Structure 1
């Protein structure tokens, strides 16, 4: 062995170290630009980084994902229709512009049905590429040519294939109409009706009043021709068969005028996403063909009899609303996209912006050198990575499940789990990124308040993620319901309901709840595997505590409705949030574990520890003591805080390259504070100087000098 080592050393001494073989894709300078060669304030941090940001980029997403992203981005950058403006355009101009961009991108067929069948998980990356440029375009395109035809394929039959084929050729454009003015989360309370008429073999749609109008329907305000409409189905015998889905023509495809019996309008300007024409619709004895019922979960024969393979109406409605899980999975990716842009802008700004310094020196330090700024930014950087890995994970498992469903496999158990996982994942991702963006906005000071900084727009755009596809505080209860109902069958039941593995650990709940904190050294407590143990215990403890509360309320004779209502605050909601936090951490943990030893793995491991410790410190320290996981007298908060403070100065040196690994190109960042060269003042000057009207006298200058509009008193 000694002679072999000596021989190898002789070869190295003579010929040098073997040349490292790099992936061929590294030659793509659009995807992997030579950032280290850029002169500017970020160069010093890039030179101090311990890892290769290009390798980390391929860990975050694979080659095909980045190639698809840059295919879209390069097309946009070279097409005048996608010219960037920092000014707020009139509402109708925003709608018009977004619509033209939708049809332009759809015409390019960057990612169609064939690509989806091969890599369904890339649908999220395609949407993310559009969102990072302009979420209005992605939302409109995804609804018109994604969610609309996919829902018909999933819930419909051969009778509606012609509508899908027309959609493939952009001969129609769709929307998804579920929510009503007076009912959103409570789908069963919706009042739009579809009554089968035997004589004409049609369904007659009616809206009893404005409160029952379908609303918040993307594309419905001005541009769609069809909608998936959920209505209460009535058969000729007067019996209601619950909520069912129908394909409903809204406007003439050539004139875009609404059909008689359809009253459709626009909801008007919103906080953000104003390129999306959200609308409302009411129906007045509006007839649609019998074939336009999406009949996979239930159908009506010519005699007016309702037929369904589902005996349980709740399961039938759950299947009918299954498309919403895909929407929630997609929102995780949307939130990730916003978070990446915000943390990129704020981190580069913090590394370039200089303020203060030692009293005996004229040198000013970049603000990222200050501990307070590091703690403001770096835990959020870690959180963005956690959201990024989780959104990729859940997008892949949802895509795989969809393909198996199309092949006829029974995915009922996996479907239940992904419903629960997306119901907690979507709120946690949206809330996490909400906090990321707000802190990034504040961390950029006054310049961050400028519209051209883009942080205000990102904040407003992400705000919608907290509400649509299920208001977060209500939606997250689906996760706790899943956990409580399974717990009622015993801990072992979790091994039977978790093919995706998100709750499989709970089958060992009896053993987990007996665990105690056993780490007195900071470096040991901060190990990812030990932090995962803490998250496991937190979930078990909160589940047991909530389950005991439910049993207590049952024993008091309360109704099922009251039990659910009275077990939310401090119990079920906390449980659902813990399940979400643990899921994000565990996906991140498994990603790190899958990597071979390398500098990239090391830096991700530190990010993982920072994310986990910070979530625990800010959310669950009290829980650890309350449940006796920690003995009184042991200050675990100080242990974890010490670990966090120890990681901050290390990751400070890595922060710029960590955002380089996930950042889109400057054309997409579109913020003078976040460009890759870090020359914030040059870019800020350019934007301000080039904005129309910057140096011009206002047209209304006379109202300042002469004030003729003030009516003089006759007294």
Structure 2
């Protein structure tokens, strides 16, 4: 453990090849961190790669420019001043709304730009999330999801609502979930019945269980909603869930219209700047034109018209526009994980405890093996989900562009995107959940302070595990996809995989015959070999689950019971492994696109090896032994030794690795995670500036006059 107190400011960091490289001229995006004195300096000079180049690998320059444009606007606008206290609920709603309106009105990123580059639009949202996710959610729903769904599912008769929305003349929300039904959307009970005499739809909520709920922006803000309701024609026939644009509040008085009852769900665990609400309808009429009719329409007489004969396919297309929610959550979770690992790594490199016996030397806690193993695997996993969320965002962006331009998106692409987002969203959320919790604990007591932000990050990530599909329900979509293809034979996987997430399974039979053939640590830690292991895990769990379903079917169980009784230890594990494998594969592909000799490729390869080895060791060893992939080799020992060898190597690179993905200090906003590493100075500032730090409480007499608490019998 080398603990030099040398001043490095006159030297050039080992990994930074050219401090005057014109690519890095923007000092807001590429600040001279190596010139900062303080406890982090020694680690920055140990790094073998250029953190600025790594920054461009994790996101291209146009993305960073969009992010910094948002952050610069926030930092210069007093409306975005930080508060050291938890505000009352109504005040949180008020300030989040004002901030959302100010950002949207600034037109930093317009809907026209989004239509051209959806990926950049997602990164614009990410930049806002890094400051306060409540603002991002309000903008994303009110001025993003609302007009996008109208454009995707509607026609020209409702396009004026999109233009009004972009002029901030209406504010949108999205109402699908009901009190008693969320994932089981087909059983939702809100109705929209066509009345030919008035050429309108009549919306009704039969009981409180059918109230639309958890609707972001609805509680206090929205004027309009996208409402999914069971469409009934005058002949009494139900044509399934259809989407409608529904005016909710008068745009001048902000009062709910007669027939519309709106309530607020109140305080939540987190994201309290978002006013989630519920709504009930009582014989509430909306114009016929407000049916979003791309997948089905009703003529003036009340006849239902659709080009899709299969109701399931029509409903699937109606919900296709919602896949972006799961893709966006992968990015949201990544943002929380990035902030948490920045705070924990910088704190661990700054915080000194203990040292050699009979010595005055103290070591940063990052030098201790236990701290390294608590954090470095998470650092690797955050880089992994960073590259995965970038990949899935790009692929979904391509599909979105095709939809807007009228170009046909293949059914196979849509189904595969649905499957991988249904696995990727839960797995990303769980990876980040575990990362934040370990980061909180690794920061000890100081990590429990609210100002450290780790508790808020944990709570902010929590809804990612529930909305857009509760994780354990949602992943069934991925396993259903895999099992359905397997039923057609291994060869079917190639044509079913235009995105490449399951194409490898075309060789399923050969993969299942493969064995652990490595006896050296360097072989076990090689990414290509780790991918071979991940391929086997997915193939084995797929075959195990497929055989389970066949066995249950042969017993005469219904399709519902077959699906229900093949989840635990089977389909559930399969879907998670599918998500893990794609995250790993995406990371590997990113590395393989880098120059062979680059130092950035070298350290990213070490991170990937750490991610893969730890994932296999802690999650999948039982599967490898059960499937006879491992027989006589001491695989556990090889993986453990490989991890232990990498820990001290990556430790020296860790500060530079978080520098590469870190937003400015204004956004990190944690005394434990500032770029100068001066933890105690920042803690002092936070504590001294906290309201009422040094004041006597208003209830001080209750402390002093204890006779007030004597038993009444002694008074």
Structure 1 residue 324: Cα displacement: 2.1
Q: What is the alpha-carbon distance in structure 2 between the residues aligned to residue 136 and residue 616 of structure 1?
A: 36
Q: What is aligned with 1:80?
A: 78
Q: What is aligned with 1:13?
A: none
Q: Deviations over 1:371-410 (max 9, x none)?
A: 0000000000000000110011100110011111222222
Q: What is aligned with 2:9?
A: none
Structure 1 residue 712: Cα displacement: 5.4
Structure 1 residue 709: Cα displacement: 5.1
Structure 1 residue 125: Cα displacement: 0.7
TM-score, length-scaled by structure 2 = 0.96
Q: What is the alpha-carbon distance in structure 2 between the residues aligned to residue 165 and residue 118 of structure 1?
A: 17
Q: Aligned pair in 2 of structure 1 residues 342, 115: CA closer, same or farther (>3 Å)?
A: same
Matched, 1:167 2:165: yes
Q: What is the alpha-carbon distance in structure 2 between the residues aligned to residue 23 and residue 482 of structure 1?
A: 48
In structure 1, the gaps of 5 or more residues are 1-18
Matched, 1:599 2:599: yes
Q: What is the alpha-carbon distance in structure 1 between the residues aligned to residue 20 and residue 57 of structure 2?
A: 14
Structure 1 residue 611: Cα displacement: 0.4
Q: What is the alpha-carbon distance in structure 2 between the residues aligned to residue 221 and residue 709 of structure 1?
A: 43
Structure 1 residue 310: Cα displacement: 1.2
* 1:183-332 equivalences in 2 (<5 Å): 183-332=181-330
Range moving further from structure 2, 597-606 or 313-322: 313-322
Q: Deviations over 1:408-467 (max 9, x none)?
A: 222122111100010000000000000000000000000000000000000000001000
Matched, 1:484 2:483: yes
Q: What is aligned with 2:609?
A: 609
Q: What is the alpha-carbon distance in structure 2 between the residues aligned to residue 709 and residue 294 of structure 1?
A: 66
Q: SS at the partner of 2:712?
A: coil
Q: What is aligned with 1:456?
A: 455
Q: What is aligned with 1:705?
A: 704
User: Would the aligned equivalents of 2:115 and 2:404 in 1 still touch at CA under 8 Å?
Assistant: no
Q: Deviations over 1:498-546 (max 9, x none)?
A: 1111111111111111111111000111100000010011110100110
Q: What is aligned with 2:8?
A: none
User: Would the aligned equivalents of 1:180 and 1:213 in 2 still touch at CA under 8 Å?
Assistant: yes
Q: SS at the partner of 1:661?
A: helix
Q: What is the alpha-carbon distance in structure 2 between the residues aligned to residue 20 and residue 674 of structure 1?
A: 27
Matched, 1:626 2:626: yes
User: Would the aligned equivalents of 2:329 and 2:464 in 1 still touch at CA under 8 Å?
Assistant: yes
User: Would the aligned equivalents of 1:42 and 1:678 in 2 still touch at CA under 8 Å?
Assistant: yes
Q: What is aligned with 1:568?
A: 567
Q: What is the alpha-carbon distance in structure 2 between the residues aligned to residue 366 and residue 260 of structure 1?
A: 64
Q: Deviations over 1:537-594 (max 9, x none)?
A: 1110100110000100111110000000000000000000000000100000000000
Structure 1 residue 497: Cα displacement: 1.1
Q: Deviations over 1:299-341 (max 9, x none)?
A: 1111111111111111111111112210000000000000000
* 1:224-623 equivalences in 2 (<5 Å): 224-411=222-409, 412-596=411-595, 597-623=597-623
Q: What is aligned with 1:11?
A: none
Q: What is aligned with 2:14?
A: none
Q: What is the alpha-carbon distance in structure 2 between the residues aligned to residue 643 and residue 86 of structure 1?
A: 44
User: Would the aligned equivalents of 1:132 and 1:668 in 2 still touch at CA under 8 Å?
Assistant: yes
User: Quick one: which of 124, 130, 147 aligns to 1:132?
Assistant: 130
Q: What is aligned with 2:149?
A: 151
Structure 1 residue 23: Cα displacement: 5.4
Q: Aligned pair in 2 of structure 1 residues 349, 21: CA closer, same or farther (>3 Å)?
A: closer
Q: What is the alpha-carbon distance in structure 1 between the residues aligned to residue 369 and residue 19 of structure 2?
A: 39
Q: Deviations over 1:581-612 (max 9, x none)?
A: 00100000000000002001000000000001
User: Would the aligned equivalents of 1:297 and 1:309 in 2 still touch at CA under 8 Å?
Assistant: yes
Q: What is the alpha-carbon distance in structure 1 between the residues aligned to residue 549 and residue 309 of structure 2?
A: 28
Q: SS at the partner of 1:668?
A: helix
User: Would the aligned equivalents of 2:116 and 2:401 in 1 still touch at CA under 8 Å?
Assistant: no
Q: What is the alpha-carbon distance in structure 1 between the residues aligned to residue 472 and residue 588 of structure 2?
A: 27
User: Quick one: which of 61, 75, 89 aligns to 2:87?
Assistant: 89
Q: What is the alpha-carbon distance in structure 1 between the residues aligned to residue 512 and residue 657 of structure 2?
A: 37
Q: What is the alpha-carbon distance in structure 2 between the residues aligned to residue 469 and residue 86 of structure 1?
A: 32
Q: SS at the partner of 1:263?
A: strand
Structure 1 residue 168: Cα displacement: 1.0
Q: What is the alpha-carbon distance in structure 1 between the residues aligned to residue 658 and residue 193 of structure 2?
A: 55
Q: SS at the partner of 1:476?
A: helix
Q: What is the alpha-carbon distance in structure 2 between the residues aligned to residue 362 and residue 256 of structure 1?
A: 67
Q: What is the alpha-carbon distance in structure 2 between the residues aligned to residue 59 and residue 473 of structure 1?
A: 33
Q: Aligned pair in 2 of structure 1 residues 351, 320: CA closer, same or farther (>3 Å)?
A: same
Q: What is the alpha-carbon distance in structure 2 between the residues aligned to residue 156 and residue 366 of structure 1?
A: 59
Q: What is the alpha-carbon distance in structure 1 between the residues aligned to residue 628 and residue 39 of structure 2?
A: 49
Range moving further from structure 2, 650-659 or 309-318: 309-318
User: Quick one: which of 14, 32, 35 aligns to 2:33?
Assistant: 35
Q: Deviations over 1:80-111 (max 9, x none)?
A: 00001121000000000000001100011111
User: Would the aligned equivalents of 2:84 and 2:691 in 1 still touch at CA under 8 Å?
Assistant: no
Runs of 4+ in 1 over 3 A off after TM superposition: 19-25, 707-712
Aligned positions, number: 696
User: Would the aligned equivalents of 1:25 and 1:63 in 2 still touch at CA under 8 Å?
Assistant: no
Matched, 1:677 2:676: yes
Q: What is the alpha-carbon distance in structure 2 between the residues aligned to residue 513 and residue 428 of structure 1?
A: 24
User: Would the aligned equivalents of 2:30 and 2:52 in 1 still touch at CA under 8 Å?
Assistant: yes
Range moving further from structure 2, 181-190 or 114-123: 114-123
Q: What is the alpha-carbon distance in structure 2 between the residues aligned to residue 709 and residue 214 of structure 1?
A: 50
Q: What is the alpha-carbon distance in structure 2 between the residues aligned to residue 353 and residue 21 of structure 1?
A: 29
Structure 1 residue 234: Cα displacement: 0.5
TM-score, length-scaled by structure 1 = 0.96
User: Would the aligned equivalents of 1:86 and 1:451 in 2 still touch at CA under 8 Å?
Assistant: no
Q: SS at the partner of 1:282?
A: strand
Q: What is aligned with 1:142?
A: 140
Q: What is the alpha-carbon distance in structure 2 between the residues aligned to residue 592 and residue 439 of structure 1?
A: 27
Q: SS at the partner of 2:262?
A: strand
The root-mean-square deviation of aligned C-alpha atoms, in Å, is 1.1
